[in-house]
């Protein structure tokens, strides 16, 4: 079993299924991970991988079908969320344009959570808003502006200020930079890093863009068709991806230097497209596309295998390796 640092959030065997006219969609299936205080866990996957559904279940927008969620050692799944818990877990959405009310000024947008959660006395709200604008590197006079007068990056900075205003321990960042141009993306990533250092807030950073994770996440969890394929420290993950699906993703990440190119796994192509979530493959969900498929792969779902204290992979290839190692060491002892 992978050793875990003291966890802020623990997700155990989480399932979230949806019933649709076409059948049951297993959007999240048997997903487990933990997030430590002040760390960034990157939750990466293509569209339909279940990463956003997992995050929305964590923030309480969906009730889990099964499994449990613990926050600060208390079970929070299947229970009505207290105001304190809602304060402590915040979310920043992908599109700041639709998450900010266009009719409200920045002052009104930031006043609401400060009042709702009694963060400061009413007389100090104006000063607190100025402080928040400074923290997210926006000019003080933006307090009077409305979202329509702001650029995309500025809107996202206001959304980050709103999340941060109530001193949360965890912020779920749902593709927070995907609507931004490259220079604004870099600015927001740097800002998030600075804020994390200052406030020790943990992030779950959801993205389909693996290249972003290199500079953002301390650990990365890769999802495919509702399940986790691999969890590893970001450095290990980029140096030596283990799961065939993660190798495929990493081999297609663009790099900017020869050193990075040398570290990439050899070009790795998979076959076919992602299967429909209402018609899931049997066994390992990746088997119809996997170039290393074994006989067992379409019959049995691979279980978690701890490669070391910080790494888990869900793939029969490694179980086979592990069994071989055990068999070899037994032979040596005989």
Contact segment (CB under 6 A) with ligand SF4 among 101-109, 148-156, 281-289, 326-334 equals 281-289
- Among 31, 35, 114, 284, the residue binding ligand SF4 under the rule CB under 6 A is 284
Nearer to ligand SF4, 173 or 294 (CB): 294
Interaction of residue 248 with ligand SF4, rule CB under 6 A = no
Interaction of residue 317 with ligand SF4, rule CB under 6 A = yes
Q: How far is the CB of 173 from ligand SF4 (least distance, A)?
A: 28
Query: Nearest to residue 194, comparing CAs of 87, 40, 7?
Result: 40
Interaction of residue 290 with ligand SF4, rule CB under 6 A = yes
Query: Nearest to residue 42, comparing CAs of 265, 236, 223, 169?
Result: 223
> Are the C-beta atoms of residues 243 and 313 closer than 8 Å to each other?
yes
Please, what sign has the CA dihedral across residues 52, 56, 59, 63? Answer: negative
- Among 48, 57, 286, 312, the residue binding ligand SF4 under the rule CB under 6 A is 286
Interaction of residue 227 with ligand SF4, rule CB under 6 A = no
b/e sequence 6-27, b meaning 16+ C-beta within 10 Å: ebbbbbbebbbbeeeeeeebbb
Beta strands in 126-218 (DSSP E): 170-174, 202-207
Interaction of residue 203 with ligand SF4, rule CB under 6 A = no
Q: How far is the CB of 145 from ligand SF4 (least distance, A)?
A: 49
Interaction of residue 316 with ligand SF4, rule CB under 6 A = yes
Please give the helix or strand (H or E) that residue 142 lies within, else none: none
Interaction of residue 293 with ligand SF4, rule CB under 6 A = yes
- Among 43, 76, 297, 307, the residue binding ligand SF4 under the rule CB under 6 A is 297
- DSSP character for 151? -
> Are the C-beta atoms of residues 229 and 275 closer than 8 Å to each other?
no
Interaction of residue 292 with ligand SF4, rule CB under 6 A = yes
Contact segment (CB under 6 A) with ligand SF4 among 16-24, 117-125, 138-146, 314-322 equals 314-322
Q: What is the rounded CA–CA span in Å between residue 236 and residue 259?
A: 16
Q: What is the rounded CA–CA span in Å between residue 126 and residue 183?
A: 30
- Among 14, 268, 302, 311, the residue binding ligand SF4 under the rule CB under 6 A is 302
- Give the residues lining the site for ligand SF4 (CB under 6 A): 243-244, 284, 286-287, 290, 292-294, 297, 302, 315-317
């Amino acid at each position: 079993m992978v050793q875990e640092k003291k966890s802020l959030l623990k997700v155990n065997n989480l399932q979230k299924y949806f019933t649709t006219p076409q059948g049951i969609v297993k959007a999240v299936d048997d997903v487990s991970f933990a997030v430590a205080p002040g760390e960034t866990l990157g939750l990466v996957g293509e569209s339909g991988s279940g990463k956003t559904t997992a995050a929305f279940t964590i923030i309480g927008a969906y009730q889990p079908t099964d499994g449990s969620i613990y926050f600060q050692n208390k079970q929070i799944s299947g229970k009505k969320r207290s105001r304190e818990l809602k304060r402590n877990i915040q979310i920043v959405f992908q599109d700041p344009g639709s998450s900010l009310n266009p009719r409200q000024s920045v002052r009104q947008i930031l006043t609401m959570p400060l009042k709702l959660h009694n963060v400061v006395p009413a007389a100090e709200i104006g000063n607190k808003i100025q402080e928040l604008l400074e923290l997210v590197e926006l000019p003080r006079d933006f307090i009077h502006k409305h979202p329509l007068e702001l650029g995309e990056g500025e809107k996202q900075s206001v959304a980050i200020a709103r999340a941060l205003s109530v001193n949360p321990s965890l912020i779920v960042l749902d593709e927070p930079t995907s609507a931004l141009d490259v220079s604004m993306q870099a600015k927001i990533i740097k800002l998030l890093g600075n804020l994390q250092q200052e406030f020790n807030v943990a992030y779950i950073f959801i993205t389909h863009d693996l290249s972003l994770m290199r500079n953002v996440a301390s650990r990365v969890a890769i999802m495919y068709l509702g399940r986790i394929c691999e969890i590893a420290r970001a450095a290990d993950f980029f140096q030596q991806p283990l799961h065939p699906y993660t190798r495929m993703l990493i081999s297609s990440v663009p790099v900017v230097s020869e050193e990075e190119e040398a570290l990439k796994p050899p070009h790795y192509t998979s076959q076919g497209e992602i299967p429909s979530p209402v018609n899931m493959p049997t066994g390992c969900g990746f088997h119809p596309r996997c170039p290393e498929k074994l006989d067992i792969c379409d019959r049995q779902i691979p279980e978690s295998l701890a490669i070391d204290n910080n790494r888990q992979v869900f793939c029969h290839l490694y179980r086979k390796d592990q069994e071989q190692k055990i068999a070899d060491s037994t032979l040596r002892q005989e």
